[in-house]
Amino acid sequence: MPYTTYLVEKGSSHSFVAEAKPPTVTMPRIKALMTGSLPGFIDVVRNLNSPTLLEDNVITRAKAAGKRIIFYGDETWVKLFPKHFVEYDGTTSFFVSDYTEVDDNVTRHLDKVLKRHDWDVLILHYLGLDHIGHISGPNSPLIGRKLSEMDSVLMKIHTSLLSEERETLLPNLLVLCGDHGMSEAGGHGASSVEEVNTAMILISSAFERKPGDLRRPKYIQQTDLAATLSIGLGLPIPKSSIGNLIFPVVEGKPMREQLRFLHLNTVQLSKLLQENVPSYKKGPRAASAQRPPGTERQGR
């Protein structure tokens, strides 16, 4: 992936290894990415018949804030968010033997949608790489070709965003990530290192360019994305998110803003603790410290 490699090493980007918790299957992983919380194992059973996501999440918050969201790809998203997208085209992941049409069905929308300026969030979930894993494993010659195809897709999107920014002068954020990894045998679902380690690359002209940063990427949690996207979009962090703001993303901001972002994350996490850990309130000092001044709970 030469273009992606260039962005990772020299571009305005931050790259990480994001750890996905098992079960490493699509539906619970999309939930983890969008809610910042960890769904139970029951989700494995429901993986083929995903119900609407009722838990607080980034998509629902974004829609409520008037953001126009477009989705193309794995139809699991459409099942989780049936009324959230202003436009969508879901692709079934049922025919694992197909690794061409599943992706063409996403890419065919790109030229058109990238020229439009009537959306705020675009989500693409490609399936081909996963399907090649299932068919012929991670060392298949098909993998290289597919990665090359994905690299061109990323280049197309990035180039288009940069040219749009020349007009709007507002930075975009491009997130490249996997919902789960791939085992040595080509499958996923369990907890081997290859299955839980996923790439997460955040690309934005708001970040500083790097002079050839070849250090090994830091480890974060897959659940950190929800809090980070919420803060980036100016939305409330989902209530049950256990994630941390991915700090390098805001490092270029003034100190006062950085502190504000950390404060938002901390208040949300402490509320979650308060609601879920019975011993949280026990100490009188903890009780008085749990709410920052000016954020008293509204009478309900």
- For Zn ion, the binding residues (CB under 5 A) are 130
Contact 243, 33 (CB under 8 A): no
The angle formed by the CA atoms of residues 233, 238 and 241, to the nearest 5 degrees, is 120
Residue 127 Cβ vs Zn ion, minimum distance, rounded to whole Å: 8
Residue 52 Cβ vs Zn ion, minimum distance, rounded to whole Å: 22
Closer Cβ to Zn ion, 56 or 130, answer by number: 130
Residue 96 Cβ vs Zn ion, minimum distance, rounded to whole Å: 7
Residue 218 Cβ vs Zn ion, minimum distance, rounded to whole Å: 26
d(CA 281, CA 273): 10
Q: State which residue has the least CB distance to Zn ion.
A: 130
SS3 label, residue 160: helix
Cβ burial 61-87 (10 Å sphere, 16+ → b, else e): bbbeeebebbbbbbbbbbbbbeebbee
Helices 141-168 and 2-10, packing angle to 10 deg: 50
Closer Cβ to Zn ion, 130 or 195, answer by number: 130
Could you tell me the sign of the dihedral formed by the alpha carbons of 86, 153, 125, 250, in that order? negative
Residue 130 Cβ vs Zn ion, minimum distance, rounded to whole Å: 4
Residue 133 Cβ vs Zn ion, minimum distance, rounded to whole Å: 7
Closer Cβ to Zn ion, 39 or 238, answer by number: 39
Closer Cβ to Zn ion, 181 or 232, answer by number: 181
Name beta bridge partners: 175: 202
Backbone angles phi, psi at 14, to 5 degrees: -130, 125
Closer Cβ to Zn ion, 18 or 25, answer by number: 25
> Which two three-digit tokens encode residue 12?
């305005």
Closer Cβ to Zn ion, 84 or 131, answer by number: 131
